[in-house]
Amino acid sequence: MIQKRKALSLLVCCMVIGLIASLISGCAGDGGNGGNGGGEEIPQYGGELTFAATADPTYFDDAIGAHYSTTGPYQCLWGGDWAKGIAGGYGTNDCDWFVRGEINRLEFKTGKIAEDWEIGDDYIEFYLRDGVLWQDKFPCNGREVTADDVVFSWERQMTLGTAYIKTSYPYLATNVEISAPDEDTVRFDCPSEYMPELITLIEFAYIYPRDAIELYGDMNDWERAIGTGAFTLEEYVEGSYLYYERNPIYWGTNPVGPGQGDQLPYLDSVRTLIQADISTHDALFTTGQIDLTTADYDRAESLKISCPEANYNKFLDGAVKGVIYMRTDKEDKPYNDVRVRQALQLAIDNQQIVDEYFGGEAEALYWPVYYCKEYAGAYLPLEDYEDDIIEVLPDTSISVADLFGYDPELAQELLEEAGYGEGFQADIVYWNLYIFDDVMQIVKGMWAEIGVDLTLTPVDYATQLSTQYLRNYDDMLLGTFAGVGTYFKGINWQGTGMFNASYVVDEELNDYREQMLAAYPDENAVDQIHTEMLPYLLEQCYVVQTAAHYTYVFWWPWLKNYSGEGAIGYYGGVSSWTPYVWIDEDLKEEMGY
């Protein structure tokens, strides 16, 4: 039986803190329920939303470096549509928006700085929204956004050597022309083969004020931050917090519910506490000092006990998915033989890991896409592969679904057929997070049964990330993969990027990819092509899948109009949903906080 290595001191600490908090507040609830916290209540203005982050922002200008951790002031031309989600119980429920920063379907987008757009085979025209003003800071002083600002911002992304689009999509940067036919229109002319990439990146590139960048040189100093978003960045203390205040000239209004038509945002302020120690996050949440938090399975079990009145949801999180990559490109390695890859998958009892290590709170099949409501059409559950029969040995056929069961005897036969009957030595590099360490220890024991001697090489997160980014590992690597919103581009199994870390070159897959790109942006047609491809892709076992655990988000009942959303749209982050939520100060006081 698999034994879990729990952090007992943390568990006890959380329970004690939670008991004290319950006594103070008089809590006696029945546990989290994933409720929306909205009801028929009229939204209230005021209050401060507080949450915690594990690290300081690395950059404040997306043409200088990655900007994911500080998105409050800035917006893109379009973004995710709040009203297409749960929206406090008043949305259309087409989306859950639980997955953080991966949902990129055109049908779920709405205008931000742009009010409307037209997409052709080789162009996009955006028509800017009237009344979108820069935050009231020098040198913009609340002036209106212009097409010139948009063109200038995008040209920086296409030309600066530090910009993500320039460095990661150089072919796009050199083939797209951006112009302003008039002061309210921005046009992108793009060869049709690059249109899927352009459409994806529209929601990545923030729009900055031209006059501010011409004055300062860039926007990478937090004090220069001037955007069009619902909150202005007013204070940043490194290693301590970021503090945002309500933007009084924000253009947005609430699209649905009892507050429909209300000027947004409702909150007076948002505070991000910088705290590297995740156990401190739990203590802050348990004592009501932060309003929401995310947690892995172990921590979630503790928080359910210590905070019985808190709401919670669970989802598969792009940040913690882990698959085993292999050097399939090296002829002196066993992994360029599909029989070896299939044997390694068959020799892992993922269902046992799901049941006994993660208490059932994990999935055994989730690559290259996992189930979420927004991409249900691109996903097939395990049982759908039961009729896809493959011949793995001359007289032995199994289904693709069987590959993700547990059959060490067949695994051993496959190794013998491939010439590795005596087994082989392998080495795997992985992030030294305790969950990954535990799972790798389990895999090591299971693979030993078929003669594979696995050496574990745990490293810190930065080392693991850089290793995957450069693909410079020697044998095996446990790493993450690209978000579900990129599925039609096939970057998990094609090209030279970090997510094709198994060095896959497969012409049959490349043909499917060309079909998907040609069908895009007809996403229903793309979904059909993708599901046709999945049995072949999984048969090849280009990655070995270990169990992926669920991530939890917890929030207190006083955080209203919130249902566990991670990001409204693609790359959106926290700032995509904060304009719509509000704090019930009376309820918070009643609960003793």
Per-residue pLDDT of the chain (593 residues; tens, 9 = 90+): 565 443 333 333 333 333 323 322 333 333 345 555 445 799 999 999 999 998 888 889 989 976 555 557 999 999 999 999 999 999 999 999 998 878 999 999 999 999 999 999 999 999 999 999 999 999 999 999 999 999 999 999 999 998 888 888 889 999 999 999 999 999 999 999 999 989 989 998 999 999 999 999 999 999 999 999 999 999 999 999 999 999 999 999 999 999 999 999 999 999 999 998 989 999 999 999 999 999 988 899 999 999 999 999 998 876 667 899 999 999 999 999 999 999 999 999 999 999 999 989 889 999 999 999 999 999 999 999 999 999 999 999 999 999 999 999 999 999 999 999 999 999 999 999 888 999 999 999 999 999 999 999 999 988 998 899 899 999 999 999 988 888 999 999 999 889 999 999 999 999 999 999 999 989 999 999 999 999 999 999 999 999 988 999 999 999 999 999 999 998 778 889 999 999 999 999 999 99
Radius of gyration of the chain (CA): 25
The pLDDT, as a whole number, for residue 65 is 79
d(CA 369, CA 380): 9
**Structure tokens of 506?**
């497969």
| Residue 118 belongs to a domain | yes
Asked if residue 507 is part of any domain, the answer here is yes
Indicate if 301 and 168 belong to the same structural domain: yes
Give a yes or no: residue 39 inside a domain: no
Query: What pLDDT does 114 receive?
Result: 98
Query: Do 355 and 306 fall into the same domain?
Result: no
Is residue 145 within 8 A of residue 207, CB to CB? The reply is yes
End-to-end CA distance of the chain: 43
Query: Does 585 map to a domain?
Result: yes
d(CA 239, CA 199): 36
Contact 574, 354 (CB under 8 A): no
Residues 381, 420 within the same domain: yes
Q: Tell me how far apart the alpha carbons of residues 2 and 460 are, in angstroms, rounded to a whole number.
A: 25
SS3 207: coil
Q: Kindly tell me the burial class for residue 378, based on how many C-beta atoms sit within 10 Å of its own C-beta (0-12, 13-18, 19 or more).
A: buried
Please state the pTM of the whole predicted model. 0.87
Asked whether the beta carbons of 557 and 404 are under 8 A apart, the reply is no
- Whether 338 and 197 map to the same domain: the answer is no
CATH number of the CATH domain containing 350: 3.10.105.10
Which secondary-structure segment (H or E) carries 292?
strand 292-295
One domain, residues 558 and 542: no
Counting Cβ atoms within 10 Å, is residue 120 exposed (0-12), middle (13-18) or buried (19+)? Answer: exposed
562 and 495: one domain?
no
Cα–Cα distance between 316 and 479 in angstroms, integer? 15
User: For 222, phi and psi rounded to 5 degrees?
Assistant: -60, -30
Residue 381's CB: how many other CB atoms inside 10 A?
11
Q: What is the pLDDT of residue 27?
A: 33
Determine the pLDDT at residue 483: 85
CB 165 within 8 A of CB 188: no
Q: How far apart are CA 100 and CA 15, in angstroms?
A: 28
Predicted confidence at residue 11, as pLDDT, reads: 32
Q: What is the largest CA-CA distance in the chain?
A: 76
Q: What is residue 22's predicted lDDT score, i.e. its pLDDT? A: 32
Q: Would residue 362 count as lying in a domain?
A: yes
Question: Does residue 35 sit within a domain?
Answer: no
Question: Residue 384's domain spans which residues?
Answer: 323-549
Rounded-to-10 torsion of CA 560, 564, 567, 569: -90
Beta bridge partners of 49: 270
Which tokens sit at 344? 């390694």
Which is it for the CA torsion 365, 368, 373, 379, positive or negative?
negative
Q: Is residue 296 part of a domain?
A: yes
Q: Looking at the structure, tell me whether residues 335 and 415 fall in a common domain.
A: yes
Q: Which two tokens stand for residue 222?
A: 């937090």
Q: How far apart are CA 491 and CA 518, in angstroms?
A: 16
Q: If we measure between CA atoms, which residue out of 273, 274, 279, 311 comes closest to residue 295?
A: 279
My answer on whether 353 and 255 are in the same domain is no
Question: Which helix H or strand E contains 419, and what residues bound it?
Answer: none
How many structural domains are present in the chain? 2
CATH of the domain at 136: 3.40.190.10
E strand or H helix at 431: strand 424-431
The verdict on residue 11 lying in a domain is no
Please tell me whether residues 358 and 459 are part of one structural domain: yes
Task: Please check whether residues 267 and 381 belong to one and the same domain.
Answer: no
- Regarding whether 564 and 443 lie in a shared domain, the answer is no
The sign of the CA dihedral 268, 274, 280, 281 is positive
Same domain (yes/no): 404, 387: yes
